[in-house]
Structure 1
Amino acid sequence: MFAVVRTGGKQYRVAAGDKIAVEKLAGDAGDTVTLGDVLLAGEGDKLADASKVSVSAEIIAQAKSEKVVVFKKRRRHNYRRKAGHRQQMTLLRITDVGEVAKKAPAKKAAAKTEDAPKKAPANKAAPKKEAAEKKAPAKKAPAKKAAAKKPAAKK
């Protein structure tokens, strides 16, 4: 099975066992990451529902890419500037491209949301009162205009 995932502003076609270099991801070598933004998935010529597919990968190493040299020059002005840049990247080994089991996390999320409304009204009332109290003294009297200076009389 293959998938097209988006990470670091780029798209990659991956399958289990592939090695790819992507923009830097948080984590150390040996950590497992899930590439959640799956754009397309399929098996051979058939396409699957991308929302039900998950891609997991193992971080092989954190490294830097090849150096990019930036050179600026203005002819006949003795102006030369040379700079280099090495982009941080993460080397990944795709371990699995497959279906996601979303039933277990959904139950936990539902349990948390049931508890949240019970506590929410008590917590929400206090900040509204504080916000109203803070806004009331914020009104200021308009600034007084400075008296215009009259020209001095000549003697």
Structure 2
Amino acid sequence: MYAVIKTGGKQYKVAAGEKIKVEQIAADVGQEITIDQVLAIGAGADLKVGTPLVSGASVLAKVVAHGRHDKVRIFKMRRRKHYQKRQGHRQNFTEIEISAVNA
């Protein structure tokens, strides 16, 4: 059984036992969280799509770790204007492990 969840402005297709990295969630490591924004639930050929959310559906997950992604380098330049700007960015993430998908 799998589910399509929405968290941090993004959508993820998840199943029980998977580990995914999502936008940072304010929860401690080892804490159980419930994600109730479930957009769809499927099992094989059977698919249940919400409008926009599936009522009564939830996904249980455990927070595994917090961290930061690799650095993204930003370089801006205006030719012939003597302008160059270098910048970097590292986005925070929370790694979660999906425990169960509840329909």
Give yes or no for TM over 0.5: yes
Structure 1 CA distance for aligned equivalents of residues 62 and 41 of structure 2: 20
Counterpart in the other structure of 1:79: 83
TM-score (normalizing by structure 1): 0.61
TM-fit CA distance, 1:78: 2.0
- Residue identity (%): 46
TM-score (normalizing by structure 2): 0.89
Q: Extract unaligned runs of 5+ from structure 2.
A: none
TM-fit CA distance, 1:70: 1.0
Counterpart in the other structure of 1:54: 58
Alignment RMSD (CA, Å)? 1.3
Alignment of 1:1-155 (within 5 A): 1-48=1-48, 50-99=54-103
Structure 1: 4+ residue segments shifted above 4 A: none
Q: How many residues align?
A: 99
1:80-109 deviations in Å (ceiling 9; x for gaps): 11000101111010011023xxxxxxxxxx
TM-fit CA distance, 1:52: 2.5
Q: Which has the larger radius of gyration?
A: 1
Aligned residue for 2:65, secondary structure, equals strand
Q: Extract unaligned runs of 5+ from structure 1.
A: 100-155
Compared CA separation, residues 2 and 78, structure 1 to 2 (3 A) = same
Bigger strand share = 2
